[in-house]
């Protein structure tokens, strides 16, 4: 036993699995770090067992709030994970190869966001073992059917896109079959990038479209183009605007925690520039949509803007979403001086990500909080601790996968040369 | 849902929805299958891709 303990550092040495030319923390330190995601996953497990065993009465959702924090988190992470499809689209299809050093990270983050969201929705649907009913008994008139088809299919695409990074692990790639398969996958990746772009375009849009067609919910309902309400296009624009920001932000946080440079600042600046200009375009359309909704759509229905914003969901939400976390980061990110500053660029990207999360929050919660019948009043909603537990799955799962991937997979090809 | 399921209706909604769904699944799994086949052919021919590290 003593001898085994003495030899433990030798057995625990995993440095032969680290990406070439990189350094990682000692295994015991890594194990301590793993405690954080594992704690979150334990919290999730308690909430999940309670919800599955006792039912959705464990949540604070009710007849008014059929959607709660799970849908808010789901919509937010799907938007923030859009960096995967958009960066892949720009790299493989448009030919913006300057983004190559960050594509792997974007795909990994997208994979975490999508798989995390799907796992969380498994609890939301009440009976996960009947999840396949959505495919077999599909309601082809529902935007959500399209969302379900596209999200699950895109999760498969992301898994395939992530596969070369796994197979390129220093030890795994020594197996000739894996190394050759990975090489061949790299050469055909443009097909998966195109499939991912197609799927993402439609499910990001349909998530927004779902709100736009809620004709009985004046906060969300919009006019549109053909069968697509304006929210369909706004959700696509907002997702492709903040996706690159979120990817870059995660890379920057990883750099600060690990103390290592992972990508050149010029790559991050390019991501910031793309995000900034797309955010400007989105904000122009979002502002126009809000003005049209406030001054034409609502009065035409006999409603006022004041009636849409009541405590605790007051006007502050509108100003924070469109002003502080919308126009401000957009105008910051289009300036080269701001992008050149590591700190300011991070602040701008953080504001953009908060803004889009708020957007998904108001569309989900505020839409339902408004009274739509004469005897109803303005309601508010706070998730139960069980709901927070299940929502923490995305963070716990994400941290676990990202930490393992950062330690063992060649996610950041520029890391060796930047840390010589 | 497949066209032989009792819920299936030959209307534009089902054709578009499931046409695109099965179309994209075919592209994804078809490409994956071709990549696997090419890998097998490469390995049989001795074209092994050596790792860079």
Spell out which residues of chain A touch residue B39, defining contact as CB-CB under 8 Å.
Answer: 177, 180-181, 184
Taking residue A233's Cβ as centre, other Cβ atoms within 10 Å add up to 20
Integer Cα distance of A18 and A21 in angstroms = 8
Contact A110, A103 (CB under 8 A): no
State the distance between the two ends of chain A, measured CA to CA, in whole angstroms.
40
Place of tokens 């019948």: A373
Query: Are A345 and A269 a contacting pair, CB within 8 Å?
Result: yes
Q: What is the pLDDT of residue A398?
A: 98
CB pairs under 8 A between A and B: 72
Type and span of the H or E element at A225: strand A224-225
Phi/psi at A140 (nearest 5 deg)?
-75, -5
3 state SS of A396: helix
Question: Which pLDDT value is given to residue B52?
Answer: 61
Stretch 16-45 of chain A: residues touching chain B, C-beta under 8 Å: 20
pLDDT at B50: 75
- Closest-CA residue of B relative to A181 is B39
Alpha carbons A343 and A124: distance in angstroms, whole number: 38
Cα radius of gyration rounded to whole Å, chain B: 19
**CA A98, CA B22: separation in Å to the nearest integer?**
34
Q: What is the pLDDT of residue A108?
A: 98
Domain spans of chain A, in order of start: 25-369+386-414
* Contact yes or no for B28 and A141 at CB 8 A: no
What's the pLDDT at A171?
92
Closest alpha carbon to A235 in A216, A212, A213: A212
- Alpha carbon A380 to chain centroid distance? 25
Distance of residue A181 Cα from the nearest chain B Cα, in angstroms: 5
Query: Residue A378: its pLDDT value, please?
Result: 87
Report residue A126 as tokens: 């009440």
Q: What pLDDT, on a 0 to 100 scale, did the predictor assign at position B53?
A: 52
Q: Cis omega before residue A312 (within 30°)?
A: yes
**Residue contact B13–A185, C-beta within 8 A:** no
Q: Any CB–CB contact under 8 A between A185 and chain B?
A: yes
- Rounded distance between C-alpha atoms, residue A238 and residue A344, angstroms: 21
Neighbours of A413 (CB within 10 A): 17
Three-state DSSP state, A224? strand
Mutate to test the interface with B, among A142, A149, A226 (most CBs of B within 10 A): A149
Q: Are A185 and A164 in contact (CB under 8 A)?
A: yes
pTM: 0.95
Q: Which helix (H) or strand (E) holds A229?
A: strand A228-229
CA distance to partner chain A, nearest, from residue B26 (Å): 11
Distance of CA A247 to the CA centre of its chain: 9
Contact A385, A69 (CB under 8 A): no
Residues paired with A229 in a beta bridge: A224
Q: How far is CA A86 from CA A99, A359, A398, A412, in A?
A: 11, 20, 20, 18
Tokens, residue A206: 């349909």
- pLDDT for A311: 82
Contact between residue A164 and residue A411 where contact means Cβ atoms under 8 Å apart: no
CA dihedral B43, A93, A153, A409 (to 10 degrees): 60
- pLDDT level of residue B1 (50, 70, 90 thresholds): confident
Residue A92 belongs to what H/E stretch?
Answer: none
Q: Give the burial string for A253-272 (b: 16+ CB within 10 Å, else e).
A: ebbeebebebbebebbbbbb
All residues of chain B having their beta carbon less than 8 Å from the beta carbon of residue A149 are 17, 21
pLDDT at residue B37, rounded to an integer: 97
Q: Which of 132-161 (A) contact B at CB < 8 A?
A: 135-138, 140-141, 145-146, 149, 153, 156-157, 160
CB nearest A191 (choices: B13, B27, B42): B27
CA distance A383 to A61: 8
Chain Cα centroid distance, residue B5: 22
The 10 Å Cβ neighbour count of residue A358 is 20
Residue of A181, A187, A408, A416 for testing the chain B interface, max B β-carbons within 10 Å: A181
Per the CB < 8 A criterion, the answer to whether A21 and A27 are in contact is: no
Q: Which CATH superfamily is domain A25-369+386-414 in?
A: Formate dehydrogenase/DMSO reductase domain (1.20.1630.10)
Is A199's CB within 8 Å of B24's CB? yes
Report CA torsion sign: A202, A205, A210, A216: negative
Determine the Cα angle at A388 with ends A383 and A390, to 5°.
125
Q: Is some CB atom of chain A closer than 8 A to the CB atom of B21? A: yes
Within A188-264, where are the H helices?
189-212, 230-258
C-alpha A388: how far from chain center: 17
C-alpha A72/C-alpha A387 separation (Å) is 12
A10, A83, A203, A217, A283 from A103: Cα distances, Å: 34, 9, 21, 39, 26
CB contact under 8 A, A138 and B1: yes
- Per DSSP, what are the bridge partners of residue A224? A229
Partners of residue A176 in chain B, C-beta under 8 Å: 43, 48-49
Q: What is the pLDDT along chain A (420 residues), one digit of tens a residue?
A: 677 767 767 777 889 999 999 999 999 999 999 999 999 999 999 999 999 999 999 999 998 899 999 999 999 999 999 999 999 999 999 999 999 999 999 999 999 999 999 999 999 988 899 999 989 999 988 888 999 999 999 999 999 999 999 999 999 999 999 999 999 999 999 999 999 999 999 999 999 999 999 999 999 999 888 889 999 999 999 999 999 999 999 999 999 999 999 999 999 999 999 999 999 999 999 999 999 999 999 999 999 999 999 888 999 999 999 999 999 999 999 999 999 999 999 999 999 999 999 999 999 999 999 988 888 888 899 999 999 999 999 999 999 999 999 999 999 999 999 997
């Amino acid at each position: 036993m003593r001898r085994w303990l003495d030899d433990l550092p030798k057995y625990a040495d995993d440095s032969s699995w680290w990406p070439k030319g990189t350094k990682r923390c000692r295994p015991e330190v890594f194990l301590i770090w793993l405690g954080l995601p594992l704690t979150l996953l334990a919290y999730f497990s308690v909430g999940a067992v309670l919800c599955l065993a006792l039912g959705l009465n464990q949540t604070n959702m009710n007849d008014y709030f059929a959607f709660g924090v799970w849908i808010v988190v789901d919509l937010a992470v799907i938007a923030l994970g859009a960096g995967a499809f958009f960066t892949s689209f720009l790299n493989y299809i448009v030919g913006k190869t300057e983004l190559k050093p960050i594509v792997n990270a974007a795909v990994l983050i997208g994979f975490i966001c999508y798989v995390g969201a799907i796992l969380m929705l498994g609890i939301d649907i009440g009976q996960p073992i009947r999840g396949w009913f959505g495919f077999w008994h599909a309601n082809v008139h529902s935007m959500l059917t399209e969302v379900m088809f596209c999200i699950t299919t895109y999760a498969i695409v992301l898994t395939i896109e992530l596969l070369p990074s796994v197979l390129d692990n220093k030890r795994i790639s020594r197996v000739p079959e894996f190394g050759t398969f990975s090489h061949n996958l790299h050469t055909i990746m443009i097909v998966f990038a195109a499939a991912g772009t197609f799927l993402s375009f439609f499910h990001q849009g349909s998530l927004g479209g779902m709100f736009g067609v809620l004709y009985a919910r004046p906060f969300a309902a919009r006019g549109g183009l053909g069968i697509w309400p304006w929210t369909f296009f706004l959700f696509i624009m907002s997702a492709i605007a903040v996706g690159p920001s979120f990817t870059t932000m995660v890379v920057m946080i990883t750099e600060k925690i690990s103390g290592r440079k992972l990508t050149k600042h010029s790559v991050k600046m390019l991501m910031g520039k793309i995000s900034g200009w797309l955010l400007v375009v989105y904000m122009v359309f979002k502002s126009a949509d809000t003005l049209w909704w406030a001054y034409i759509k609502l009065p035409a229905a006999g409603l006022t803007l004041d009636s849409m914003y009541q405590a605790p969901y007051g006007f502050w939400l509108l100003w924070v979403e469109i002003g502080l976390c919308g126009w401000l980061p957009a105008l910051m990110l289009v300036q080269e001086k701001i992008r050149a500053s590591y700190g300011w660029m991070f602040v701008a990207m953080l504001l953009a990500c908060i803004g889009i999360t708020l957007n998904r929050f108001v569309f989900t919660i505020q839409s339902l909080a408004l009274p739509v019948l004469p005897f109803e009043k303005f309601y508010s909603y706070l998730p139960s601790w069980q709901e927070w537990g299940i929502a923490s799955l995305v963070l716990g799962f994400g941290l676990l996968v990202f930490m393992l991937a950062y330690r063992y997979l060649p996610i950041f090809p520029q890391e060796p040369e930047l840390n010589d | 849902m497949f066209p032989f399921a009792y819920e299936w209706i030959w209307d534009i909604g089902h054709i578009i929805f499931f046409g695109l769904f099965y179309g994209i699944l075919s592209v994804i799994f078809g490409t994956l299958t071709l990549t696997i086949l090419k890998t097998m052919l490469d390995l049989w021919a001795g074209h092994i891709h050596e790792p860079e590290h």
